[in-house]
A and B are shown apart, each in its own frame.
Chain A
């Protein structure tokens, strides 16, 4: 197809009206008669032995229907998965414990569950459960936790739960050749997803004896894990995924589902459980803090010759997706640069802090902060512009990733996006206030879309063309707000020449919709987009072929436009789509199909030296910012923010821009204000007045520049954008701060206090 009818147009999303009118039912906007209310008793200590638990008083309370502890969970210990069906080996599977047993590992760990007639009774019952703890010392810093003799968080004899590495060339030789070497250590903090809808759902047992869980989840394939916890066969647990009020990776692990299943199984009644905001911040996953020790060497002309990186991440109290996140960090550690000699070592370490797992960017944003800061430092030291140093070093088409050696066969847009972003800043803002200094920063980056290829990822979709020309789609795709569901409708509308309004989609249901895989890893446009395209094209082909027969023309000459099968270049010759459907139905031609799309498959790599293909493809982008820094208060204001990505093809430009704008502000929060402060295992920021995210008053009008190379692996050449969009804005901001005031912040977030302490050393050291 040469001209698109719907694809590429900024059209309102399928779900938009339901959202602006308040009609859409999120997970918590649903209830069932006789529903019980659940609450979770959480550990008061970050590290303690559980000596005893007495639930007798709670059980006696009027209105309490169940009180469960570890002993009531059929399979309390299992391993964390995230929807993969292939074997990936022990390196990625950590202990997952539904309820704490014998020992608690972090403050807020679930110890007991209560279901009661009302929320108030459930809360009261929590107060009546007596847990006798004996506190343990714990360990709260991953660097400390790595040391021999450190307090052991889990049951193994080391806190290190994952080690990853990759190397190419010879770094000793590389550094020997360098004219300039920069060495530094950077730190990044815990970050919360801060979606506005907390984790929650409702479960019940249906007429077939199946546990139904209606929940906001990015991974409905967890139905298998929940079934395993209960010791049920997998077909006895069904997930009904709702539209989510944000996900960002935080609804990628199991949240409330196992608790709900246990309680509904025990009571045989519908059960509702929603986390409070405090619980959400305290108990669900966080973005990994990292300590990152880097050394880079370059020639006088700015050409990089060597990079050595040691990354240590805080996995918190349980592994969850930490090994995977650390693999991403390892692969991303050398950034989008050609460096002949590279060595990366990554350590993933348990502590008694809140567990860490997926968070938009999945291990990429952390090393990006460092290498992009170091590139900026190099540029300043060598007196080369931020754009030029990147031009001289960045990957281009046909080159390979300096960590794994994966070759880029498709268009690598880095030089183009870097230039476009930098130039879009325009003229430097004038500033009359002598205490306000203006500066600019640039960062470029790459991030994968699609899951790691050794996970053997696939997505399925079912499409059915009805006799009246309307379409039914069934896809297991979860929608966390990015417009995933609407995207599939748009593809089908394009292929079958019908308006969006004639499409009905059922999504995110493990019993009724073909599994489409997780809404994670920026994979849905690519994976489910392709599955849907494949299904739609099968049906399109059948329609066209029947119409060709009826019109007695070559199928190549036909297109479907506005519900008509038309002869191209002679639009007066056509058949109404419904006529062709009728003819197909009469002839017994199937106008429905379920298809599977498979990503490229590779074998599990040697984790100590990861080489070759680990991801299907990457998205390339650049971000440029202009800031004004108040040199007396340390406050930073972002004056301009440009985000430029090669998105391959923007299937819905409104959604793509939305990801780019939103991703930028998500990253801006990371750069300037966000931090879950955990002191000795205790979360000090358990509310939105303590965990600060940007408000409308804090943000610039983000300018999104879309490059559409058509080089992506998704439908119509699209690439993924959700996670890449947020992964490099933080270093761009840090670089702009440096440009403005000569202070380099190496420890996020760059708060006014950190900036002023660096600027006014004499004052603060006196």
Chain B
């Protein structure tokens, strides 16, 4: 079995290990203990596995682990290191944007990455921004509420 050396940082922590050529970043992360990255379809069709890879939100199930070599990965567990990440987590909690919670890690990552680029979106823009992340429980209403509340806060503190 051929394995390749891989060095990356996950949530600011350096990791030096190996990965198989065809291993997805999702499987790699889960195998290395980052089980907060969820597996919902392994085909890029649900968004539960979303992580930030070099400042872009990507679906880790359709990214090779080795494509993260020498790169920076952030999962939901790293969000507390960012003010925006903490704000989003708090807002999701307070607005009841969580039910089963299985889409939540991906949803928060997508929201964080989106608000980093576009801090004051309207509700329709938020809906488009999270349209790659399925949620079966909430009907999205409270998720949009939670993200929008952070956007409003951003506007106020501008």
Contacts and interface: CB of A to CB of B under 8 A. Distances in A.
- Does B associate with A? yes
Interface of A: 10, 12-13, 15-26, 28-29, 193-198, 243-248, 276-277, 480-483, 654-655, 657-658, 661-666, 687-689, 693, 695-697, 699, 701-702
A20 B127 CA distance: 19
B127 A697 contact: yes
B136 interface: yes
B52 interface: no
Interface stretch (B2-10, B64-72, B140-148, B149-157): B140-148
Nearest to A281: B41
B48 A196 contact: yes
A12 B94 contact: yes
A695 B144 CA distance: 12
Contacts of B135: 196, 696
B43 A689 contact: yes
A283 to B, nearest CB: 15
Most B CB contacts (10 A, CB to CB) among A248, A687, A689, A696 go to A696
A244 B98 CA distance: 13
Contact of A688 (B45, B101, B144): B45
B40 to A, nearest CB: 4
B19 interface: no
B75 interface: yes
Contacts of B134: 194, 196, 688, 693, 695
Contact of A665 (B80, B104, B127, B139): B139
Contacts of B94: 12
A480 B138 contact: no
Given A20-B104, A29-B35, A196-B135, 9 more contacts: A15-B98, A21-B77, A21-B89, A22-B37, A196-B103, A246-B136, A654-B95, A665-B139, A688-B40
Most buried by A among B108, B126, B137, B144: B137
A215 to B, nearest CB: 15
A655 to B, nearest CB: 7
Contacts of B138: 658, 661-662, 665
B57 interface: no
Contacts of A701: 123, 141, 144
A664 B142 CA distance: 13
24 contacts: A12-B93, A13-B96, A16-B92, A19-B98, A19-B101, A20-B93, A20-B104, A21-B76, A21-B80, A195-B136, A196-B38, A196-B134, A245-B38, A247-B100, A277-B41, A482-B99, A482-B137, A655-B96, A687-B41, A688-B46, A689-B45, A696-B130, A696-B133, A701-B144
A697 B77 CA distance: 27
Contact of A687 (B39, B45, B105): B45
A481 B92 contact: no
B128 interface: yes
Given A688-B45, A701-B123, A481 B140 contact: no
Contacts of B38: 26, 196-197, 245
Contacts of A696: 126-128, 130-131, 133, 135, 140, 143-144
A248 B89 contact: no
A482 B99 CA distance: 6
Given A245-B38, A658-B99, A699 B104 contact: no
A95 to B, nearest CB: 31
A696 B75 CA distance: 22
A23 B77 CA distance: 8
A19 B136 contact: no
A658 B92 CA distance: 12
Interface size classification for chain B: 35 or more
Contact of A702 (B75, B77, B99, B141): B141
Contact of B39 (A28, A194, A664, A702): A28
Interface in B73-117: 75-77, 79-80, 88-89, 92-96, 98-105, 108
Contacts of A20: 76, 88-89, 92-93, 98, 101, 104, 108
Contacts of B93: 12, 16-17, 20
In the A-B complex, the 4 residue pairs with the closest CB atoms: A481-B100, A22-B36, A245-B102, A19-B101
A693 B136 contact: yes
Contacts of A664: 139
Contacts, number: 167
A481 B137 contact: yes
Contacts of A28: 35, 39
Contacts of B142: 654, 657-658, 661
A24 B79 CA distance: 15
A613 to B, nearest CB: 32
Contacts of A23: 36, 77
A243 B101 CA distance: 9
Contact of B102 (A196, A657, A697): A196
B28 to A, nearest CB: 14
A583 B42 CA distance: 58
A420 to B, nearest CB: 18
A196 B75 CA distance: 18
Contacts of A15: 98, 101
A65 B104 CA distance: 36
Nearest to A652: B96
Contact of B75 (A22, A24, A687): A22
A618 B37 CA distance: 39
Contact of B131 (A195, A277, A693, A697): A697
A244 B100 CA distance: 6
Which of A19, A29, A658, A662 neighbours the largest number of chain B CB atoms within 10 Å of its CB? A19
Given A277-B40, A277-B43, A657-B142, A194 B136 contact: yes
A662 B137 contact: yes
A658 B101 contact: no
A654 B130 CA distance: 21
A66 B123 CA distance: 53
A554 B126 CA distance: 57
Contacts of A19: 98, 101, 104
A24 B35 CA distance: 9
A7 to B, nearest CB: 16
A197 B76 contact: no
Contacts of B39: 28
Contacts of B80: 21
Nearest to B27: A119
Contacts of A661: 138-139, 141-142
A255 to B, nearest CB: 16
A245 B134 CA distance: 12
Contact of A246 (B77, B89, B100, B141): B100
B55 to A, nearest CB: 20
A25 B105 CA distance: 12
A696 B144 CA distance: 9
Considering residues A15, A26, A198, A693, which has the most beta carbons from chain B within 10 angstroms of its beta carbon?
A26
Name the residue in B88, B100, B101, B143 with the highest tally of chain A Cβ atoms < 10 Å from its Cβ: B100
Given A19-B101, A695-B131, A687 B36 contact: no
Contacts of A483: 99
Nearest to A655: B96
A665 B140 CA distance: 9
A699 B43 CA distance: 23
A528 to B, nearest CB: 18
Contacts of A654: 95-96, 142
B96 A196 contact: no
